[in-house]
Structure 1
């Protein structure tokens, strides 16, 4: 498990040009600085260094942050599931069940969204002037949902 590097004051020999401050990292990822601090507190991604108390991230940390952000998009995974994925075999826990569970939820969400898109597509292309009230095909589809 990755542990936050409390009190780290140097960059451990890392090239300063490869480090970005927390504000820049947050901007690149489209999240708030508070979100990155929270992820650090949760042990998801520790900064590569701290400079004057400010978290600094290198390429590897930015990659991990982007993974967290990607997995959170659309509610694909919880932070606990993401932690298992990030820590992989180092956590002593198998990360695959969390990934499988998330994949099942994403596929179910895709099915629901696809059905919603089909519904809206029909509403927009229906020859009826008021599809919700007068379209026989739409009424039949909605009725079948009520009788499941």
Structure 2
């Protein structure tokens, strides 16, 4: 990379719309240099864009989480708190997704092709209120 890369070069490199980089700038996530009204990115800002994109896609961090992590000073491990919280959220989501998968796999064992509410597995899980029990 040369001294500075244009916003178009950065956007094309990362497969991002230019508007995304504008938005990240308004959010304070990136700070491009300005020359004659045009935005240019230094190597540090280029790597910042790469980090934000990686955190968004691989780390599944929200822009608010990324902003909090990037705002942490060198003296505080604040970004670690953000990452730790995100790991906990991902683990909770994995438990929820495992439960959903188990339920759906069980649903596939229902021999009925219609009226799934008549499947024994479903009716056994739900149960009727005591006063509504048929006599």
* TM-score, scaled to structure 1: 0.60
Unaligned 5+ runs, structure 2: 128-135
**2:69 paired with 1:69:** no
Deviation at 1:75, TM superposition (A): 8.9
Q: Return the match for 1:40 from 25, 33, 36.
A: 25
Find the aligned partners of 2:109 and 2:13 in 1 and give their Cα distance: 39
2:132 corresponds to: none
* TM-score, scaled to structure 2: 0.64
CA RMSD, 1 decimal: 3.5
Find the aligned partners of 1:30 and 1:118 in 2 and give their Cα distance: 37
Structure 1 residues 83, 138: CA separation in 2 closer, same or farther (over 3 Å shift)? same
Q: Return the match for 1:83 from 49, 53, 67.
A: 67
Q: Contact 2:110 / 2:121 at 8 angstroms: preserved in 1?
A: no
Deviation at 1:31, TM superposition (A): 4.1
Unaligned 5+ runs, structure 1: 1-13
1:107 corresponds to: 91
Structure 1 residues 128, 24: CA separation in 2 closer, same or farther (over 3 Å shift)? farther
The number of equivalent residue pairs is 127
Secondary structure of 2:30 counterpart: coil
